[in-house]
Amino acid sequence: MSNVKNLAKKAKIAARTLSVLDTEAKNSALEAIASQLLADKETILQANGKDLDNGKKMGLSPSLLDRLALTSARIDGMVEGIKQVVELEDPVGQVMETWQRPNGLEIAKVRVPMGVIGMVYEARPNVTVDTCALCLKAGSAVVLRGSSSALNSNRALVSAIKKGLAKTAIPEDTVQFVDSEDRGAVDEMLRLNGLLDLVIPRGGAGLIRRVVENATVPVIETGVGNCHVYVDVDADPGMALEILLNAKCQRYGVCNAAESLLVHEGIAANWLPGAVQELNTRGVEIRGCSKVVEILSGVKKAEDSDWATEFLSPVLAIKVVKDFQDALDHIQQYSSGHSESIVTNNQNTAAEFLRQVDAAAVYHNASTRFTDGFEYGFGAEIGISTQKLHARGPMGLRELTSYKYVVKGTGQVRP
């Protein structure tokens, strides 16, 4: 048996023990992990130092090196994150619905753990700790495969996690780490039907595509966000500007940032010049449709591909639309189904936007940047789903669970 398959088998066996532990047992195991991470801080930082050295030799960009870097404070942050997960309500065992059938059968729909969750992720070592905390609290074992650039850091973090678990009711085997730089190990992991119940990719578009294309186990696709802000003719101009600047500029490299602005032509000539001036001040490059170029000389003309691009950088595509329907059509054509926002004081227009736009999150008079597990009050987030199956938008603990039907009878048979 290959190494990866063997790890997954161990995880599946351990998951059975984990699945029936009560909340207290799971919480005290999480506390033990937190303590061990603090106790092993020096070892973890040393391991991270090796990764940083290797990364510099490999010529990683400063921003990638920053994402890779651990500090004492960042480890404290991970520990803080675990403590927050301890505080969260345990979804396992929650009764979602109950009903009785005419034949007397009593049916309950009950939340249960997913089983074994595979996580394939890039760069940031904190994902290792966050994922373990969330999956364990949700009652599932986890098979982790991080990027090779963080191999030493992840190895040290997993070692601390397992040392922590060794003293608790959660079996060490519930956390498995694919300790290999071989890409073939990922492909094998993605095809472990019967052992993995779910794989979640977290990283860039390339990683996510690779996982979606190669997996035969169920996948939740995450992350790609080509989000729009639509400023309607009935928008409050000041509010529209604030929402736009927040959605575009509060952070550039995130999936819930705006990539395109749509402006109703009835407000464009008055509102757009001031808005673009503010964007320019912040260093945002504009790519406009022909009408934008007419209104604002010197603005670069957008290519067709710009409307479909998740820039993840200080670039914004702007289009003047002739009416609400034109805005809807554009969004329907180019949206990645992540987060879409309308700014308007017209309640009817807003209602139609919220009803007709097909995205994980639709906003009226608020920034797209709110699509986030913490901002929604889930207390945590393992990723943002951009597919419609199982979970859509921010995924917290509950979205990491499945359910089963528990049926009680008194000897009923089917006629």
Alpha-carbon distance of 115 to 391, in angstroms, equals 16
Task: Figure out which of the listed residues 107, 269, 312, 315 binds a second copy, where binding follows CB under 8 A.
Answer: 107
Alpha-carbon distance of 328 to 322, in angstroms, equals 11
Of 317, 333, 314, 340, the residue nearest 393 (C-alpha) = 340
Q: What is the DSSP string of 210-224?
A: HHHHH--S-B--B--
Alpha-carbon distance of 169 to 17, in angstroms, equals 9
Q: How far is CA 408 from CA 19, 88, 106, 402, 412, in A?
A: 21, 30, 5, 20, 9
Q: Among residue numbers 224 through 243, which ones bind a second copy (CB under 8 A)?
A: 236, 239, 242-243
Per rule CB under 8 A, is residue 94 in the interface with a second copy? no
Pick 51 or 188: Cβ nearer a second copy: 188
Asked if residue 232 lies in contact with residue 342, where contact means CB atoms within 8 angstroms, the answer is yes
Specify the residue for token string 């987030």.
381
Q: Among residue numbers 297 through 336, which ones bind a second copy (CB under 8 A)?
A: 332
Pick 252 or 370: Cβ nearer a second copy: 370
Per rule CB under 8 A, is residue 118 in the interface with a second copy? no
How many residues touch a second copy (CB under 8 A)?
Answer: 67
Per rule CB under 8 A, is residue 197 in the interface with a second copy? yes
Contact letters for a second copy, residues 348-367 (x by CB under 8 A): --x---xxx-xxxxxxxxxx
Using DSSP's 3-state secondary structure scheme, residue 302 falls into: coil
Alpha-carbon distance of 320 to 231, in angstroms, equals 10
Minimum distance from residue 115 beta carbon to a second copy (Å): 6
Using DSSP's 3-state secondary structure scheme, residue 94 falls into: coil
* Stretch of 69-77, 149-157, 268-276, 372-380 contacting a second copy, by CB under 8 A: 372-380
Minimum distance from residue 367 beta carbon to a second copy (Å): 5
Residues that bind a second copy (CB under 8 A): 16, 19-20, 99, 101, 105, 107, 112, 114-115, 193, 197-198, 212-213, 216, 218-220, 236, 239, 242-243, 245-247, 250, 332, 350, 354-356, 358-367, 369-371, 375-377, 387-390, 392-393, 402-414
